[in-house]
Structure 1
Amino acid sequence: MVKTVIFDMDGVIVDTEPVHKYAYFRHFEELNIDVSEAMYATFTGNSTRNVFQKLKNTFDLQEEVENLILRKRSLFNDAFDTKPDLELIPGVFDLIKDLHAHDIELILASSASKGTIERVFNRFGLHPYFSHKVSGEDFPKSKPDPAIFLHAASLATCIKDECVIIEDSTNGVKAAVAADIFCIGYNSENSKLQSLDGAGYFVHDFKHINAGIIKTLK
């Protein structure tokens, strides 16, 4: 029986992707580099550090990765703070409350920075529902490397076999599979150019899933 649900954040709890994309492409313009939509899609599930390490190698950028991260983060924070229509993914808050009410532990495992995670959790009052929040900035490799999910599972009050992961990206599902943790693939309208092959269960609308269904997935 499932006792812990590990959530991804971007695209699963909140759609900050348009804000990230705005910040990234503003930065790409400043750097005078041409990043295609197809290339940008491959970054989904990667930490900002890993994205800029790849860009630095691909475009032979002279700037230090840390400076690139700080500039993009500044652009993101400015946009995040001034965007009034940023909302949680439809149905996810009800799911979070339902899982919590049924004593299912919730852990966040997101490639986002700690700062971005805190901004989202503060804005939407999510702190009371999650026992742990794990950021991808603490790991040298991004998803599809399974390290972040293995660490999240190690923090759970149950064994790894009693955990499930909710993911919406190709890299996230691959990381869940590599960690040998059952994955729920959230296939939303925001999951563009993402393959969820490898997930054991699929949901298109969080209104169609609840604690009772999730508990029976294992």
Structure 2
Amino acid sequence: MKKAYIFDMDGVIYDSEPIHARAKKQVLAEYGIDISAERLATFVGRSSRDFYGTMVEENPACGASWQELAKKKHDLYRKLLTEDRSIQAIPGVRELLERIKAAGYLIGLGSSSTMEMINLVLNRFDLKKYFSVVVSGDELPRSKPDPLIFLTVAEKLGVAPSECIVIDDAGAGVAAAKAAGMYCIGYDNPNSGPQNLSGADMIVGSHYDIIVV
């Protein structure tokens, strides 16, 4: 019997990837690093440490640490998210959270974003009240596709992994959910780039397609 839903944030709660891509490309360009949209898409759902650590390792001549790059991108991203009022929650996500809550399920969030960014997003869209547990992968030693983040959410919720349903838009997130032994709904978000969601138990193109029973 399923007892909990665990949401990813970026690309599931709000359409983050176009903003992330813009900020990442701008910061990397300042250090002479060019990255294609296709390469960026392979890092969707993975932590800043993972992404910028790889960039620094591949481009040692940039002369920056991954922490420096991550901070610059974070500051720019935060500015964009705070000032661009056209950015909204993904259609149907609030209604989905309401349906899940009304059905009596626990709700958790497992995001690779920093806790500061998670709080900014949830407060911006007035969604924090729905989540009993929030875990930032940035504070964990391993990021998606490792299952640690989802296992940590389940443990904090007090439920078994087999009792959880994960909603994630990235291939890394789907892989993490399945490695954790959880049921996974892949949200096919066109703005998240080409993602391999084939490992998901179900793939949907809209939050309205998710039936809560």
TM class by smaller structure: over 0.9
Q: Structure 1 residue 105 and structure 2 residue 106: aligned?
A: yes
Q: Counterpart of 1:10 in structure 2: which amino acid? A: D
TM-score after normalising by structure 1: 0.93
Give, in whole Å, the separation in 2 of the partners of 1:146 and 1:157.
Answer: 17
Give, in whole Å, the separation in 2 of the partners of 1:181 and 1:192.
Answer: 24
Give, in whole Å, the separation in 1 of the partners of 2:72 and 2:192.
Answer: 26
Q: CA RMSD in A?
A: 1.2
Decide which moves more: 44-53 or 157-166. Answer: 157-166
Partner in structure 2 of residue 163 of structure 1: 164
Partner in structure 2 of residue 18 of structure 1: 18
Partner in structure 1 of residue 154 of structure 2: 153
Q: Counterpart of 2:32 in structure 1: which amino acid? A: N
Q: Deviation per CA, 1:42-88: give whole Å up to 9, x if none.
A: 11111111111000111113212222211111111111111111111
Give, in whole Å, the separation in 2 of the partners of 1:44 and 1:141.
Answer: 15
Give, in whole Å, the separation in 1 of the partners of 2:33 and 2:148.
Answer: 31
Give yes or no for contact 1:24–1:72 (8 Å, CA) kept in 2.
Answer: yes
Partner in structure 1 of residue 83 of structure 2: 82
Give, in whole Å, the separation in 1 of the partners of 2:27 and 2:53.
Answer: 15
Partner in structure 1 of residue 28 of structure 2: 28
Partner in structure 2 of residue 196 of structure 1: 197
Q: Counterpart of 2:159 in structure 1: which amino acid? A: C
Task: Give 4+ residue runs of structure 1 displaced > 2 Å after superposition.
Answer: 188-192
Partner in structure 2 of residue 9 of structure 1: 9
Unaligned runs of 5+ in 1: 213-218
Q: Counterpart of 2:79 in structure 1: which amino acid? A: D
> In structure 2, the residue corresponding to 1:211 is in which secondary structure?
coil
Q: Deviation per CA, 1:90-139: give whole Å up to 9, x if none.
A: 11110001101111110000011111101111111112111011111111
Give yes or no for contact 1:163–1:182 (8 Å, CA) kept in 2.
Answer: yes
The residue correspondences of 1:203-218 to structure 2 (distance < 5 A) are 203-212=204-213
Give yes or no for contact 2:135–2:149 (8 Å, CA) kept in 1.
Answer: yes
What fraction of aligned residue pairs are identical, expressed as a percent?
38
Unaligned runs of 5+ in 2: none
Deviation at 1:2, TM superposition (A): 1.4
Give, in whole Å, the separation in 1 of the partners of 2:125 and 2:34.
Answer: 35
Give yes or no for contact 2:114–2:136 (8 Å, CA) kept in 1.
Answer: yes
Q: State the number of aligned residues.
A: 212
Deviation at 1:191, TM superposition (A): 3.6
Give, in whole Å, the separation in 1 of the partners of 2:22 and 2:168.
Answer: 22
TM-score after normalising by structure 2: 0.95
Deviation at 1:198, TM superposition (A): 1.1
Q: Counterpart of 2:13 in structure 1: which amino acid? A: I
Deviation at 1:204, TM superposition (A): 1.3
